[in-house]
Amino acid sequence: MSNQRPETSFEGEIQTDFQDKMTYGDYLCLDQVLSAQNPRSDPPHHDELLFIIQHQTTELWMKLILHELQAAIAYMKADTLEPCFKIFARIKLIQVQLFSQWGVLATLTPSEYAQFRHVLGQASGIQSMQYRAIEFTLGNKRRAMLEIFKDDPESYAKLQAILERPSIYDEFLRHLYRQGYAVPQESIRRDWSLPYQRNPKLIPVFKAIYENPRQHWDPYAMCEKFVDMEEQFQLWRFRHMKTVERIIGYKVGTGGSAGVAYLKKALDFTFFPELLDVRTEIGSVGD
């Protein structure tokens, strides 16, 4: 007597005939995605694949962040804030993913990385066009950073266009102005390519919003979404700095930056300064 069990069939009507039909791999272009990891160490070092995938997945998440930010800007231009709440909630969760990814890379030890770091040459995350696009879109604009992309005309043109138009925070301030809030003229008409400068005249505007959230619900909720994004970005920057410190110590970065010192300096920057400054004024003695 045979002990073999009869072969069980697939449940329901699972598709098994893919002749002239699109498959999961076709839709996601997995042949391209999964063949895009090309370690350069010879012989291939085991941990180089981790390093490549870490950075490729980061770029994919950043592509989605940029997609979402552009949608939010379009809604702000149309004076419709409510759809932005879901967009910013999604961005925050993407940022959480990006933060957590550093933990995977941190399993790479200094001695392991030293065995293949030389194959990077001058390649560095500082050359990430999408990261720079995110920074510019959020308001950290530095024209000098365009020079990194001068040999890539397409990336240069894209970044220059983002540099020279209002950031998402600028668009929020312009929205508030159109809604009748006392946003000063210098916040709605300026050279958008210049770095944003904190403006004390905005503090009374945000103070009124925070002290009367029911009356100003949409701007109030939007302010908190901006603060969420700021906080998550700072956590990401800190984790980035600590991971680099853990793996290469205080070596100069492959792209020529000061490495950990450069990353530490970035922690001092804030995208939306008045949204943090106003907290000191809310509920203060003498109000």
Q: Is the pLDDT of residue 235 over 90?
A: yes
Within 10 Å of residue 111's Cβ, how many Cβ atoms? 7
Tokens 């009356």 belong to which residue? 215
Q: What is d(CA 89, CA 148) in angstroms, rounded to the nearest whole number?
A: 32
- Is there a binding annotation on residue 118? no
Q: What is d(CA 176, CA 285) in angstroms, rounded to the nearest whole number?
A: 27
- What pLDDT band is residue 5 in, cutting at 50, 70 and 90? low
Contact 88, 73 (CB under 8 A): no
Contact 127, 255 (CB under 8 A): yes
pTM of the model: 0.92
> What confidence score (pLDDT) does residue 13 get?
79
Contact 210, 223 (CB under 8 A): yes
What whole-number percentage of the chain has pLDDT above 70? 94
- Is there a binding annotation on residue 117? yes
- HSE of 14 in the Cβ direction (CA atoms, 13 Å)? 4
- What pLDDT band is residue 227 in, cutting at 50, 70 and 90? very high
- Is there a binding annotation on residue 248? no
pLDDT in tens, 252-285: 988 888 889 989 998 999 999 999 999 999 986 5
pLDDT in tens, 18-50: 788 899 999 999 999 999 999 999 999 999 999
- Is there a binding annotation on residue 55? yes
- Is there a binding annotation on residue 87? no
Residue 237: exposure state from Cβ atoms within 10 A (0-12, 13-18, ≥19): middle
Contact 204, 187 (CB under 8 A): no
- Is there a binding annotation on residue 54? yes
- Is there a binding annotation on residue 115? no
Q: Which of 272, 66, 59 is nearest to 162 (CA)?
A: 66
Contact 97, 235 (CB under 8 A): no
Contact 104, 54 (CB under 8 A): yes
Residue 10: exposure state from Cβ atoms within 10 A (0-12, 13-18, ≥19): exposed
Q: Is the pLDDT of residue 59 over 60?
A: yes
Nearest 5°: phi and psi at 52? -70, -50
> What confidence score (pLDDT) does residue 9 get?
61
pLDDT in tens, 159-181: 999 999 999 999 999 999 999 99
Q: What is d(CA 85, CA 224) in angstroms, rounded to the nearest whole number?
A: 10
Domains belonging to the chain, first-starting first, are 47-115+127-248+257-280 (1.20.58.480)
Contact 236, 95 (CB under 8 A): yes
pLDDT in tens, 138-164: 999 999 999 999 999 999 999 999 999
Q: Is the pLDDT of residue 202 over 60?
A: yes
- Is there a binding annotation on residue 240? yes
- Is there a binding annotation on residue 175? no
